[in-house]
Amino acid sequence: MAPNLLLRIQANNIAIAGIACDSRKVKKNYLFFAIEGSNTDGNKFIKKAIEKKPSAIITSKKNEIKTNIPIILVKNVRKEYASIIYKLSQSNIEKKVAITGTNGKTSVVYYVQYLLNSLGSKCGIIGTLGNNSKYIKSNLTTPDPLQISQIIQRLGKEKYKTIAMEASSHALDQGRLYGLNFDILALTNISHDHLDYHKTINSYINAKLKLFKENTKKNTINIISKDFKYYSQISRELKSKKIKFLTFGLKNSDFQIYEKYKSRSNITMQFMYGSKKHLFKFANMPKFQINNFLLAVSIVFKLGYRLQDMKPLSLKAPSVPGRMELAGIKKNKAKIFIDFAHTPDALANVLKEAREMCKGKLHVVFGCGGDRDKEKRPVMRKIATKYADKVIITDDNPRNEDPDIIRKEIIGISKNIQEIGDRRSAIKYAADSLRNHDILVIAGKGHEKYQIIKNKSLPFDDVQISKKYL
Residue 262 CB neighbours (<10 A): 11
Q: What share of the chain is helix, strand, coil (3-state, %, to 5)?
A: 35, 25, 40
Residue 55 confidence (pLDDT): 96
Longest CA–CA span in the chain (Å) reads 77
Instruction: Report yes or no: 333 and 369 within 8 Å, Cβ to Cβ.
Output: no
Which residues make up the CATH 3.40.1390.10 domain(s) of the chain?
A: 5-86
How far from the centroid of its chain's Cα atoms is residue 104's Cα?
7
HSE-up (13 A, CA, CB side) for residue 404: 0
Residue 2 confidence (pLDDT): 43
Q: Put residue 13 in one of left, alpha, beta given phi > 0 → left and psi -120 to 50 → alpha.
A: left
Instruction: Report yes or no: 310 and 115 within 8 Å, Cβ to Cβ.
Output: yes
- What's the CATH code, domain 5-86? 3.40.1390.10
CATH superfamily membership of 89-313 = Mur-like, catalytic domain (3.40.1190.10)
Residue 326 confidence (pLDDT): 92
Q: Which residues of the chain have pLDDT under 50?
A: 1-2
Residue 292 confidence (pLDDT): 97
Which residues make up the CATH 3.90.190.20 domain(s) of the chain?
A: 325-467
The whole-angstrom separation of Cα 402 and Cα 411 is: 15
Residue 1 confidence (pLDDT): 40
Structure confidence by residue, pLDDT tens digits, 313-348: 999 999 999 999 999 999 999 999 999 999 999 999
CATH superfamily membership of 325-467 = Mur ligase, C-terminal domain (3.90.190.20)
